[in-house]
Structure 1
Amino acid sequence: MIKRLLSFLFPIKIHEKKSDFSKNLEVTWNNGYLVLDSKNTNYSFGSLQRVLKKGLKYIGYERIRNFKSILILGVAGGSVIDTLKNEVKFEGTITGVEIDSTVIELAKKYFGLDNYNKVSIINEDAFEFVLKTKEKYDLIIIDIFQDTTMPNFLFEDFFINRINYLLNIKGFILFNTMVLDYQDRRRNAIYKSKFESNYSVRLYPKIEVHNELFTIKKLA
């Protein structure tokens, strides 16, 4: 409790651990909340949670409550699951895919990741999971970073087409991207152009300074 109170004055790191994928992970009290950070960016329960919460609001909480299944690629500490369960009041099934076993370990220990009902966490590469899963989803959330870097496969045609195949009609993709320079902006513009007329694509720039969000609805 003392550390939590002091965190309103300055961040207090309570755990640090090396990771094969994220190099260095830190659990910190910050403004009264536990957050999970990598070296250069927030992974969960800080600015990232605010970013994805805005995206969910753009889609609409009431609409999401009527969904039956959600896929999350890139779970980190599980802040978007916390939002879906405790704020949106989503009661369907959630499948979370996270490549970093160290992240999953910290998320369970400090953020209660294993305390949710109807939530399955799979320790696997998102590309491999998407390639072989036979399930389809009403909402697919893509939030994959290694510190401030986004893997190239997220923007490649094969992955995009596979995600689109896994999405139910009238379903949504919520894609969180990081834009640091001109090349990133160009990458996002090219990504947006890859969707045909049977998709409704919206781009929301300048979310928490460096984040751009896509919401993509499958119309038919």
Structure 2
Amino acid sequence: MIQKIFSYLIPIKIFTKKSARSKMIEVTWANGELVLDSENTNYSYGSLQRILRYGLKNIGYKTIQKMNHILVLGVAGGSVIKTLVNEIEYKGKITGVEIDTDIIQVANEYFNLCQIKQLEIIIDDAFEFVLKTKNQYDLIIIDIFEDTKMPNFLFESFFSERVCTILKNQGFVLFNTMILDEAHNLRNRKYVSEINPELYTVKMLPRVEHHNELIVIEKVA
């Protein structure tokens, strides 16, 4: 495909759509691969896929392969789901929660997300879903952005405690955060300081792809 070849020289935008949640969704050929972007940041594939792949490697591919049920809060184009299925060869169930119906339409059309048999997509607010779900999960991936902003509820102790209660013993949370200023840095430190060290171990993987910091939580009791 000629667009793919030329994309090594210059990004080639092939689709744009206004979205109520993300303002603008763009599908672009960049460096030989299709990526999904919002107005100001990468939403799926490209750098975001590298960031979350790095976090999954830190947990361990063999550990993930043995899991039964993974929850993804914030699906976008589904790059982390593709990593789980195609690279890690994870065979268990994946539940993806995404608030933006426009993004899921794009993910199905351009990234074939609907062809992944073990994936169930639920259109819902992540906060509401976490309160309602009766399931427990081996891995919870939190990757929720509205363009470059992260909703405040993600860092509130009520939400983080609820996330941890729906996590199985020896389960993991992989939380992708963005740090653009010192206030964000302090926010992350406060978030980590509020996690009970008797029940959970916490690792911070700073400055992944410049502005992202991954927080990895393991439930040990």
Distance 1:46 1:76 in 2: 13
**Which residue is equivalent to 1:210?**
211
Q: CA deviation at 1:118?
A: 1.1
**Which residue is equivalent to 2:158?**
158
| Runs of 4+ in structure 1 over 6 Å off | none
Q: CA deviation at 1:169?
A: 0.3
TM-superposition CA deviations, 1:129-156 (whole Å, max 9, x none)? 1110100000000000000000000011
**Which residue is equivalent to 2:44?**
44
Distance 2:122 2:5 in 1: 35
Asked if 1:24 is matched to 2:24, the reply is yes
SS, match of residue 170 in structure 2: strand
Q: Which residue identity does 1:202 align to in structure 2?
A: K
State the TM-score, normalizing by the size of structure 1. Answer: 0.99
Distance 1:100 1:88 in 2: 27
**Which residue is equivalent to 1:199?**
200
Distance 2:181 2:45 in 1: 25
Q: CA deviation at 1:157?
A: 1.2
**Which residue is equivalent to 1:187?**
187
Q: CA deviation at 1:86?
A: 0.5
How many aligned residue pairs are there?
220
**Which residue is equivalent to 1:75?**
75
TM-superposition CA deviations, 1:25-67 (whole Å, max 9, x none)? 1000001100000011000011000000000000000000001
Q: Which residue identity does 2:203 align to in structure 1?
A: R
**Which residue is equivalent to 1:109?**
109
TM-superposition CA deviations, 1:142-198 (whole Å, max 9, x none)? 000000000000011110111010000000000000000000000000000111121
Q: Which residue identity does 2:211 align to in structure 1?
A: H
Q: Which residue identity does 2:4 align to in structure 1?
A: R
- Unmatched runs of 5 consecutive residues or more in structure 2: none
**Which residue is equivalent to 2:92?**
92
Distance 1:190 1:20 in 2: 31
**Which residue is equivalent to 1:142?**
142
Distance 1:57 1:123 in 2: 28
Let me know the Cα RMSD of the aligned residues: 0.5
Distance 1:198 1:158 in 2: 16
Distance 1:117 1:65 in 2: 17
SS, match of residue 90 in structure 1: coil
Distance 2:29 2:86 in 1: 21
